C-alpha cells in the first residue's frame, strides 16, 4: 500500500466526522434528529463513507487506533446499505453524540502520527 494511502483514508474519515458535526449542529435530541430527514439521511451517508474508508485502511487502522472498534465501524456500512429497515434512529443518534467524539480524537492522533512519519521520509 502506498504510504499516502492511509493518510488519505484517515482524512476521509475525519472529513466525514466533521460533516456529521456540521449537519447535526443545533439538533437538540434524538427525536429532532429522527424528524429531520435531510440531516438523518446526510448522517447515514457520511457514516457509510466512514465505514468504507475504514475497510480500505485494513490493518493500518488497528495499528494506529487500537481502541477503536474497527470491525463494528466496517460493518456499519453494510447494515446501513443492506439492513436499513433495522437501523434504529436512537442508535445512530447515540453514535453521533457519544461514539464519534472519541473516534474523532483517535483519528486526529493517527493522522498526526502518519504525517510525522511521512515528513520523516522526505
Give the CA distances from residue 63 to residues 57, 59, 60, 106, in Å, rounded to whole numbers and listed in that order: 10, 6, 5, 12
**What is the spatial distance between Cα 67 and Cα 46, in angstroms, rounded to a whole number?**
21
Over residues 106-117, mean pLDDT = 95
Nearest to 94 by CA among 38, 24, 26: 24
- Tens digits of per-residue pLDDT, 88-98? 999 999 999 99
Q: For residue 16, give the C-alpha cell.
A: 466525514
At residue 122 the predicted structure's pLDDT band, cuts being 50, 70 and 90, is low
Q: For residue 121, give the C-alpha cell.
A: 521520509
Residue 10: which residues within 8 A CB-CB, separation 6 or more?
53, 57, 64, 107, 110, 111, 114
**What is the spatial distance between Cα 44 and Cα 53, in angstroms, rounded to a whole number?**
14
Tell me the average pLDDT of the chain. 93
DSSP label at residue 117: H
3, 118 contact by CB (below 8 A)? yes
At residue 21 the predicted structure's pLDDT band, cuts being 50, 70 and 90, is very high
Over residues 29-56, mean pLDDT = 97
Whether 22 has a pLDDT exceeding 80, the answer reads: yes
Amino acid at each position: 500500500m502506498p504510504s499516502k494511502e492511509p493518510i488519505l483514508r484517515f482524512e476521509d474519515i475525519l472529513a466525514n466526522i466533521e460533516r456529521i458535526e456540521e449537519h447535526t449542529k443545533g439538533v437538540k435530541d434524538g427525536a429532532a434528529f429522527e424528524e429531520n430527514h435531510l440531516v438523518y439521511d446526510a448522517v447515514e451517508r457520511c457514516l457509510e463513507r466512514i465505514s468504507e474508508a475504514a475497510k480500505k485502511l485494513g490493518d493500518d487502522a488497528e495499528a494506529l487506533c487500537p481502541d477503536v472498534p474497527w470491525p463494528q465501524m466496517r460493518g456499519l456500512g453494510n447494515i446501513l446499505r443492506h439492513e436499513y429497515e433495522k437501523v434504529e434512529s436512537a442508535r445512530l443518534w447515540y453514535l453521533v453524540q457519544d461514539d464519534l467524539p472519541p473516534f474523532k480524537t483517535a483519528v486526529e492522533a493517527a493522522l498526526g502520527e502518519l504525517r510525522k512519519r511521512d515528513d520523516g521520509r522526505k
